[in-house]
Amino acid sequence: MTASFPNTAPPILAVENLRTTFRTERGPLTAVDGVTFSLGEGRALGVVGESGCGKSVLCRTLLGLLPPTARVDPAARVRFYGKDLLGGGASALRRLRGREISMILQNPMSSLNPVMTVGAQAAEPLRVHTGMSRKRAWKRAVSLLAAVGIPRAEERMKQYPHHFSGGMRQRVAIAMALACGPRLLLADEPTTALDVTVQAEILDLLAVQRRTRRMALILVSHDLGVVAGRTDEVAVMYAGKIVEHAPTPALFANPRMPYSRALLESIPVLDNAPHTRLRAIGGSPPDGLELPYGCRFAPRCSRVQPRCLQDEPGLDFEGAAPHGFACWNPFPLLSAGRQGRNGPSEWRRT
């Protein structure tokens, strides 16, 4: 039976059968296909998968940041504290965007305006959404930049984005996203192109802000190591669909869907012997315009069976702490004593 992942906290975000399609010269391309999940207050959901699996389109659909060529299926439902995000109109969504729901984009250099000072950009959300005076918004922006770890914040407010390093630009983007105290933050690969040390600092900063503000978080990444230990649950996406959804410790200890396990096994392990060959997932993700019959991962799967090539599996949940996976031939459920890598701490990026 297909179901959404249940949360112990009341859901602030409920997504049901979300489907986003783009018009292309070769025909319609469905980038997000039937995604269903819910997210409780203060909880963190990691959304992982290879590039092109639909993670970013999912976030942009939730915020209505789609180009004219995109179409969201009218049967889809997205509710935020009971408010309909898809049917409420563009003006209603604009009032929520930046105030109640914020987003950190992948590349801070492209998301920041190069001809505006950092201070003007950091103060803008406060003036637009809260009606603060210019002077008050400026002071508040200074405190926000200081809170995210930018030294000499008042002095740096007068500088432009190109005066900042990649990590510092990302901190500015985080300060802007947090300016109005959102209840939900969408972080779309916030550590892309940053070195490992800066990645850890940015992820720790997001964790502190989430706990302090009781803010829900959707953390998007292509790297399972990034979400390990920093999320409450993980949704694995492949070719526009969620193919596995489980509490973070359960997914890392016992991934059931072969694609999830392949992602985990492709992460380099520090205690391996020197010159150990890295494991990779064979083949390539399917063309969104020419999807295979049956399971979309079947052409690359080591556990493929005849049924996998004919019938598409649904996302079925099982267990007291539900673990959902879309697979006709999943890996068996292991007992605690047989689990090899038995938790997210072993995979966590530090």
For residue 228, give every residue at least 6 positions away whose Cβ sits within 8 Å of its Cβ, in sequence order, or none: 248, 252, 344, 345, 346, 347, 348, 349
pLDDT tens digits, 44-94: 999 999 999 999 999 999 999 999 999 999 999 999 998 898 887 777 788
- Check whether 249 has a pLDDT greater than 70: yes
Neighbours of 327 (CB within 10 A): 22
What is the arithmetic mean of pLDDT over 152-181? 90
Looking at residue 350, its pLDDT comes to 42
Contact of 260 with 222, CB cutoff 8 Å: no
Neighbours of 308 (CB within 10 A): 23
- Check whether 246 has a pLDDT greater than 90: yes
How far is it, in rounded angstroms, from Cα 160 to Cα 149? 17
- Check whether 337 has a pLDDT greater than 50: no
pLDDT tens digits, 88-125: 777 778 888 888 999 988 776 677 899 999 999 999 99
- Check whether 341 has a pLDDT greater than 70: no
Long-range contacts of 246-250 (CB under 8 A, 24+ apart): 246/5, 246/322, 246/323, 246/324, 246/325, 247/321, 247/323, 248/46, 248/344, 249/343, 249/344, 250/321, 250/323
Lowest mean pLDDT among 15-19, 83-87, 139-143, 183-187: 83-87
Task: Give the DSSP H or E segment for 204.
Answer: helix 196-213
Confidence of residue 43 (pLDDT cuts 50, 70, 90): very high
What is the arithmetic mean of pLDDT over 144-158? 91
How far is it, in rounded angstroms, from Cα 305 to Cα 285? 19
How much is the mean pLDDT over the chain? 87
- Check whether 2 has a pLDDT greater than 50: no
Higher pLDDT, 223 or 186: 186
Query: What is the rounded radius of gyration, in angstroms, for the C-alpha atoms of the chain?
Result: 21
Best CA proximity match to 38, nearest among 180, 232, 197, 288: 232
Higher pLDDT, 119 or 1: 119
- Check whether 282 has a pLDDT greater than 70: yes
Confidence of residue 12 (pLDDT cuts 50, 70, 90): very high
